[in-house]
Amino acid sequence: MTALGNLDELRLHHPPRRVVSLVPSLTESLFDLGCGDRLVAVTDYCVHPADKVRHLPRVGGTKSPDLARVRAALPELVLASREENRREDVEALQADGFKVWVTFPCTVAGTLELLWAIVRVFDVPQRGLVIDALERVYEYAALAAENTPGLRTFCPIWREPRAPEPPRWWMTFNRDTYMHDLLRVCGGENVFADRERRYPLAADLGQMPADPPDPARDTRYPRVTPDEVARQAPDVILLPSEPYPFTDQDAAAFDAFPDLPAVRHRRLHTLDGSLLTWPGTRLGRALNELPGFFLPFASLNSQE
């Protein structure tokens, strides 16, 4: 599936006037592209722009939407994401005759392509200037990263729940994700780029053989052990506030691994997780803020 997903199959005959968004990053993007007035309902996690989404009707969570509320909103288009939403919810709405645009941006370039598609679908060509500006920032960041050695980076997005410190495992992501590509563009080298998730959990942690490959299973988000992290020797550790709400307390837990370059040089950073996980117009902030975690220390990469 491409970033634009099933757009070509939808046969939209006019710009949608009633839209339900099940994707927080797309909700924000619609407002930034001048289409926010088309939204008739959003999820509980659609929190930006705060002053504009505050009074919109809610339809529940991204992975637990109240489909009755979605139907009651009488949308001409439902915005969904393969990353955020469950296939069964999408198929239920499609079975009822609703048009559901299922997007799947896995790269920065794919995200820009998606934003251009929104401009076309909603017939707001004047908003292309917003995307032009994003593309210029993207080109600048990518050029800067090309001329600087990437810093080896570990970025967990989840951890073993209700576990002592440090946990037995963290969940991270591999090269087939938007987060990986965004880090690459901004000057980070994902130390688990080639690591695939194995099933079940015990296999992912190296405690038993893995199940045979299953195309239906998502292998992009491996669970990695402290020993694996230590072997990768990351120069930088990023702790985003979502999907797991990492805090300074989680950063302090890495003091148990004093030999990690990131710990030795105090390059552990908590950050706004939406910068990493919201493909859309928030990309502008991400491209401006994330390089600061890497570029000032790039010369240290060759000194470890």
pLDDT of 298 reads: 44
pLDDT of 179 reads: 99
Q: What is the pLDDT of residues 101-122, one digit of tens each?
A: 999 999 999 999 999 999 999 9
Domain edges within the chain: 7-134, 149-302
Q: What is the mean pLDDT of each run of 10 residues along the chain (304 residues)?
A: 93 96 99 98 98 97 98 99 97 98 98 98 97 96 85 98 91 99 96 98 98 96 98 98 96 95 95 98 97 68 42
pLDDT of 223 reads: 99
Other residues' Cβ atoms within 10 Å of the Cβ of residue 11: 7
Topology match between the domains 7-134 and 149-302: yes
User: Which architecture does CATH list for 149-302?
Assistant: 3-Layer(aba) Sandwich (3.40)
Phi, psi of 100 (to 5 degrees): -120, 120
* Dist CA 280 CA 301 (whole Å): 31
Q: Is the dihedral of CA 158, 162, 163, 166 positive or negative?
A: positive
pLDDT of 149 reads: 83
pLDDT of 165 reads: 85
Contact 174, 196 (CB under 8 A): yes
User: Which architecture does CATH list for 7-134?
Assistant: 3-Layer(aba) Sandwich (3.40)
Q: Say whether pTM exceeds 0.85.
A: yes
Amino acid identity, position 17? R
